[in-house]
Amino acid sequence: MNEMVDMALMEYEENLNKHFNRLLDEFMLIRVGRANPRLIENIKVDYYGTKTPINQTSNITVQDARMLVVSPWDVSTLKAIKTGIEAANMGVSVSDDGKIIRVGFPMLTEERRREYSKDAKRLLEEAKIAMRNARRDCLDVFKNMKKNSEISEDDYAGLEKDVQKTLDGFTDKCDKSCEKKIAEIMEV
């Protein structure tokens, strides 16, 4: 058709992809009974007077299924890192031996699993809303083009169908990812 249409469609698909990837990243942060460094790596701690993510102050490793070990690069920051993890209020046990910090994750209760499932559904709905907003923005570009006689009514109708088809594909991927995450959460 024309270059502006191609650019608008490409930008629209990039936006949908960005929202989908953000949803997957947020799903990774929902605990499923296994220790994962991503659960704590972005907690901000006081590191020489600056709020800094833990992963920029320490190594975070998985000791076993329910235990993370945080090894600060500078032992003098141990207390600040421990305080930051405790302040995040994640329901974990935090202990240190003067050199490393151990972060223990308790077994998930049925009630907690249901809460995490609700969180996953909430994140899914937020992603879908963001995607629908991206669709609206894309269609607004095409409406302006139609209004300015840059594209015909028939072109607009076809583009509208293409935009909706693309959105349907992405929301389908989001739904499947959410179902998979909920199954993972509810697995005992």
Structure confidence at residue 49 (pLDDT): 85
| Domain 37-104 -> CATH class | alpha beta
Per DSSP, the three-state class of 109 is: coil
Structure confidence at residue 1 (pLDDT): 56
Structure confidence at residue 180 (pLDDT): 94
Q: Retrieve residue 7's tokens.
A: 């650019």
Query: What is the pTM (predicted TM-score) of this model?
Result: 0.76
Structure confidence at residue 184 (pLDDT): 87
Q: What are the residue ranges in the chain where pLDDT is below 70?
A: 1, 33, 188
Q: How far apart are CA 111 and CA 116, in angstroms?
A: 9
| Domains of the chain, residue spans | 3-29+109-186, 37-104
Structure confidence at residue 33 (pLDDT): 67
Q: How far apart are CA 117 and CA 181, in angstroms?
A: 8
- Tell which residue, 30, 8, 65, has the closest CA to residue 184: 30
Inter-CA distances, 170 with 127, 142, 153, Å:
10, 20, 26
Mean confidence (pLDDT) of the chain: 90
| Domain 3-29+109-186 -> CATH class | mainly alpha
Q: Retrieve residue 47's tokens.
A: 């590191």
Which residues have C-beta within 8 Å of that of residue 87, sequence separation ≥ 6?
A: none
